[in-house]
Amino acid sequence: MQIVRVALPLPLDRLYTYLVPQAFQRWMRPGRRVVVPFGKRQLAGVVIEAGLEADLKGYKARDILDVDVELPPLPTELLELTRWVATYYMCAWGEALRAALPPGSSQATARSRVQTVAMIEYNEEGPEAPPTGARQQAIVEQLRIWHQGEQTPVSQARLLAECGGTLATLRRLADLGYLFIEQEERDRFSEERPDIVASTRPQLHAAQVDAVDQINTALASGTYHSFLLHGVTGSGKTEVYLRALETARQAGRTAIVLVPEISLTPQTVRRFRSRFGDEVAVLHSRMADGERYDAWRGIGEGRYPIVIGPRSAILAPVENPALIIVDEEHEASYKQFDPAPRYHARDLAVIRAMKNGATCILGSATPSLESLANARSGKYTLLDMPERVPIDGTPARLPDIRIVDLRSEPELKGTSRALSTRLVKGIEERANRGEQTILLLNRRGFAPVMECSACGWVPECPDCSVSMVYHRPLNHLRCHYCGITQRPPSRCGSCGHADLAFLGAGTQRLESELAERLPDVRVLRMDLDTTSQKGSHHAILDRFGRGEADVLLGTQMVAKGLDFEKVTLVGIIRAEAGLQLPDIRAEERVFQLLTQVAGRAGRAELAGEVLLQCVNPAHPVIQYALRHDYHGFAEQALATRSMLNYPPAGRMVSILFSGPEDDKTLELADRFRRLVDSRLPDVDRLGPSPAFVHRLKNRYRHQLLLKIPTHVPASRVREGIQQAEQALGSLPAAVCMTIDVDPVGLV
Ligand code: ADP
Ligand code: ZN
Ligand code: ZN
């Protein structure tokens, strides 16, 4: 009797044994997607070991229910990579494999399987006499005409739409010999793809030539190499990616390009498709399951040598990629949180490249401190493009950034207004000249943080140098790193002012303020509300690109990857917003955002200006952004991180306990903390303390953060955590423990 060992998407790190019915035996091989019974459920899993023989006696294993014969088996490389993911990110192999299958296919439904369509062909040797009945005659006549015009086979749907009738009519005509019905596979993916527009291939400028040369050498060597491409906004990074892709394709090789979901704009996609046409498969999170299934199948069959997509594309079944590109590598959205595997796609890109002897390019105008540290230590080769693409020989200038100090805008005091006179005038001038403005409202500023409306002072934890977070139910401030609590101050701790406010101004309010102060200016708003529908994000950008509005107003979404030549002004409503968040990367995020959004101004011939509204112009982050000084910022940020043993100076693991009862959950977290302490004495830990979102969906959450010095190997930390987990025993049914390796952002 043949058996297979299958990995299932369950949080248990083991394989499950199933019997293989005779009919399925020839399909069994590692990497095959199968459907199996599990308790009362059906689950889709991946075959890990096949061709095993078992003695039937004493075997309780159940039969495999179905095999997905259409989806090519996952290549060995991906089986190995997902095994690595499972180990490193501490999840089950089956969970890691789930991320490598077309999303939606972990349920054992037939929904996303191959679809066929009925195609109708005229039978030239059919009966001479027409069929009886007007409808049948009409169908045969129409089909004959199309056939003569070489337009057959034609889809059943089209034929019936033209002539009326039903499937039964067609079947009857097929029986009579007038026509053939053939089932043809549908490719829901290629049906969705837009047309290709040709574009010019510019002459590279010197910094690009140098970057492309080094990348080409690495590609030709056939051995692993990673590059950090640090190029200011508009320096021509995308052109470098395109040339590297050309080299890979000329050698007949494959590639993966990761971009943040938000940058998957029609503009970006067009640029890649105009060079590589139908070789490119674009994945995005809004694809329907069926479309995605067909995309995955096409990639696995080798029909699309270039795959572009957000983080999940790093696990696409591309055969042996020679080149992996991560654009905007600093983006937090490359980290997956729920469900497991909690992987970082940028880090996985480097690992996958390493395993394949491939070339990896990480590109950004504001590289993450992790990648910068890797470049400095020699793990990555740094490629610098410090200037914008030249126009007529001289590099285009970075925009001038000017500060608007909101403290000297008395007319805003005591009002809900958020726009300084200078910014309003700037918008008006641009609109009159037929130019455009982008206004950024940083939504991360909506955290409940108190702030002095006179000087911008924010209450901070005495021990941790992070801002205290306001908790309304208890009316206190708390540090989310050490747990200290305080009563909210009634006066500013810096200037004594009595007016302490909560940060945040909504995009809607800003929109109405604009309507009131500049009634003739046309505004488009882009935030979560206006982009919830499929395609609406692209629709808004398209309209703005066509000049249907003077102002594009929005959250972070407006900051990234856009390239509009008419935009000459960028306004930032509150530059400090987000600095106060209790996140070790808060300052890095704000610096990146300010730099990125500033880069939207003056991308073409027209000079750009950025107006940065703030109340604390002396803040180092704002000063560095003002001077376009990435290295200055990175220098001081790295020093702080290393003093506190935060990444990249060390690693972190977050362990989150959540349960319906607050004290019991905390108790469990604390017991776990003691178990970890005794096993990993050289690892620092913070907490357990209430998570940033303490109560979520009626569950209380407590977080333990491990700070791991660089000299402690990851494998030892893993063992320590696993041993502590075993010692803790099984958790009460309602309590969950979530391990997040290299966490990013707040939980
Ligand atoms: P980045 O990705 O660094 O922001 P892009 O690659 O988008 O920069 O380049 C900015 C603009 O300059 C694009 O419109 C691109 O087509 C154009 N461009 C890039 N390289 C060159 C070049 N060598 N010569 C002329 N135009 C270029
Ligand atoms: Zn603290
Ligand atoms: Zn103050």
Question: Alpha helix locations (H) across 110-236?
Answer: 134-148, 156-163, 167-175, 206-221
Q: Which ligand is nearest to the CA of 497?
A: 3
Q: Which atom of ligand 1 is nearest to the CA of 205?
A: 23
What does the pLDDT look like over 271-297, one tens digit per residue? 898 899 889 998 887 788 888 888 888
- CA distances to 262, 515, 574, 738 from 508, rounded to whole Å, are 21, 11, 15, 36
Q: Which atom of ligand 1 is nearest to the CA of 327?
A: 2
Q: Which ligand is nearest to the CA of 468?
A: 2
Matching fold, domains 206-391 and 397-447+504-639:
yes
User: What is the CATH code of the structural domain delimited by 650-741?
Assistant: 3.30.70.260
Q: Which ligand is nearest to the CA of 209?
A: 1
Q: Over 90: is that where the pLDDT of 371 sits?
A: yes
| CB neighbour class for 56 (10 Å; exposed up to 12, middle 13-18, buried from 19) | exposed
Query: What residues does each domain of the chain span?
Result: 3-99, 115-191, 206-391, 397-447+504-639, 650-741
User: What is the CATH code of the structural domain delimited by 397-447+504-639?
Assistant: 3.40.50.300
Cα of 460 from ligand 2 centre, angstroms: 8
Tell me which of 348-352, 458-462, 466-470, 682-686 is least confident. Answer: 466-470
What does the pLDDT look like over 78-89, one tens digit per residue? 999 999 999 999
Whole-number Å distance between alpha carbons of 174 and 181: 7
Whether 553 and 439 have beta carbons less than 8 Å apart is answered as yes
CATH class, 206-391 region: alpha beta
Q: Which two tokens stand for residue 158?
A: 């089209």
Q: Which ligand is nearest to the CA of 467?
A: 2
SS3 37: strand
Cα of 590 from ligand 3 centre, angstroms: 22
Query: What is residue 454's predicted lDDT score, i.e. its pLDDT?
Result: 77
Q: Which residues pair with 638 in a beta bridge?
A: none
Q: Which amino acid is at 720?
A: G
Whole-number Å distance between alpha carbons of 368 and 563: 22
Q: What is the mean pLDDT of residues 444-472?
A: 68
Q: Which residues pair with 741 in a beta bridge?
A: 653
- pLDDT band at 205; cut points 50, 70, 90: very high
Percent of the chain exceeding pLDDT 70 equals 88
Tell me which of 97-101, 468-472, 570-574 is least confident. Answer: 468-472
Pocket test for ligand 1, best of 208, 239, 330, 600 (most atoms within 8 A of CB): 239
Whole-number Å distance between alpha carbons of 123 and 140: 10
Q: Which atom of ligand 1 is nearest to the CA of 599?
A: 4
Tell me which of 9-23, 116-130, 351-365 is least confident. Answer: 116-130
Cα of 582 from ligand 2 centre, angstroms: 9
Whole-number Å distance between alpha carbons of 606 and 609: 10
Write down the CATH superfamily of domain 3-99.
PriA, 3(prime) DNA-binding domain (3.40.1440.60)
Q: Which two tokens stand for residue 261?
A: 């979901």
Whole-number Å distance between alpha carbons of 204 and 214: 14
Query: What is residue 528's predicted lDDT score, i.e. its pLDDT?
Result: 60
Q: Which range scores top for mean pLDDT: 133-137, 459-463, 599-603? A: 133-137
Q: Over 50: is that where the pLDDT of 111 sits?
A: no
What is the distance between the terminal CA atoms of the chain, rounded to a whole angstrom? 48
Q: Is the CB of 602 under 6 A from ligand 1?
A: no
Whole-number Å distance between alpha carbons of 315 and 105: 14
Q: Which two tokens stand for residue 130?
A: 């027409």
Phi, psi angle pair for 731, to nearest 5°: -75, 150
Whether 569 and 426 have beta carbons less than 8 Å apart is answered as yes
Residues 6+ apart with CB under 8 A from 721: 90, 653, 655, 676, 680, 706, 739
Whole-number Å distance between alpha carbons of 426 and 437: 9
User: What is the CATH code of the structural domain delimited by 115-191?
Assistant: 1.10.10
Given CA atoms 10, 15, 21, 25 in this order, what sign does their dihedral have? positive
Q: Over 90: is that where the pLDDT of 364 sits?
A: yes
Q: Is the CB of 589 under 6 A from ligand 1?
A: no
Q: Is the CB of 231 under 6 A from ligand 1?
A: yes
Q: Is the CB of 204 under 6 A from ligand 1?
A: yes
Please tell me the residue having the least CA distance from ligand 1 atom 6: 236
Would you give the DSSP letter of residue 77?
H
Whether 426 and 475 have beta carbons less than 8 Å apart is answered as no
Q: Is the CB of 600 under 6 A from ligand 1?
A: no
Q: Which atom of ligand 1 is nearest to the CA of 233?
A: 4
